[in-house]
Amino acid sequence: MSTSTPTSTTAIIPTRTDPIISTPTHLVRPLTLQDLPSLTSSLNDHSITRWMTDRVPFPYTISSARDFYDFLRTQDPLTSYSIVDRESGNVVGGLGLKTTPSDIHRRTVELGYWLSSSSQGQGVMSTLVPLFLHWTFQTFPSELVNRVEAHVYSGNRSSMRVLQKCGFREEGVLRGKVWKEGKVLDLHVWGLLREEYEVEGGVGEAEVR
């Protein structure tokens, strides 16, 4: 996906304030400037950042959050969203796609997500990922997204379980691929093809805006 996105697709990219997903407990919507303190407070947690790439530093400061916000202002189409707890209004997680704009991988996007420690273990991500996949496959045509993949470090069992429950297949293990915090780790590659998603039936429209 790239800025050379066909105009027909650009027309259906949501505005930068509307939620793309709404559940009884959470919204998935673009990050705003007002969100930066709650984003910082949720993400400044080593039990989360240890499983993420080095683009998410630890400690995670208000300046890290501001850098991320500034990056998002340039992202077109916007593919990184915040998970907001409806009751508190706080950012409690993130859900997004990393795109590869050129060459042979251009129809593959990489799914990434995280959730604050206090929100984990309640089925939140297992609920939101299928809705986000629905949004992804509906928003971007097959010329832009044919495959969604996720990269998980060895040992991250809850993340792999979420992917398994959401229809992804574990396709392989890239041995010693990751250098994270002074350790070599294996990288587990999980994938879901558009055709598999469509055969499985996806999710109901009602829950996706």
Ligand X SMILES: CC(C)(COP(=O)(O)OP(=O)(O)OC[C@H]1O[C@@H](n2cnc3c(N)ncnc32)[C@H](O)[C@@H]1OP(=O)(O)O)[C@@H](O)C(=O)NCCC(=O)NCCS
Residues that bind ligand X (CB under 6 A): 48, 51-52, 113-115, 120-126, 150, 152, 156-159, 161-162
Taking the alpha carbons at both ends of the chain, their separation in whole angstroms is 22
Nearest 5°: phi and psi at 120?
Answer: -75, 160
C-alpha distances in Å from residue 40, one per residue of 12, 47, 92, 109, 147: 30, 14, 10, 26, 31
* CB nearer ligand X, residue 135 or residue 168: 168
DSSP string for 60-96: --HHHHHHHHHHHHH-SS--EEEEEETTT--EEEEEE
| Minimum CB distance to ligand X, residue 23 (Å) | 12
Which residues touch 179 (CB under 8 Å, ≥6 apart)?
Answer: 185
Q: Which amino acid is at 139?
A: T
Q: How far is the CB of 12 from ligand X (least distance, A)?
A: 27
Q: What's the closest the beta carbon of residue 38 comes to ligand X, in angstroms?
A: 15
Closer Cβ to ligand X, 105 or 161, answer by number: 161
Cis? peptide before 59, omega within 30° of 0: yes
Q: How far is the CB of 15 from ligand X (least distance, A)?
A: 26
When the beta carbons of 103 and 157 are compared against ligand X, the nearer one is 157
User: Whole-angstrom Cα distance, residue 123 to residue 111?
Assistant: 18
In whole angstroms, the minimum distance from the beta carbon of 118 to ligand X comes to 10
With respect to ligand X, which residue has the nearer C-beta, 97 or 150?
150
Nearer to ligand X (CB atom), residue 5 or residue 192: 192
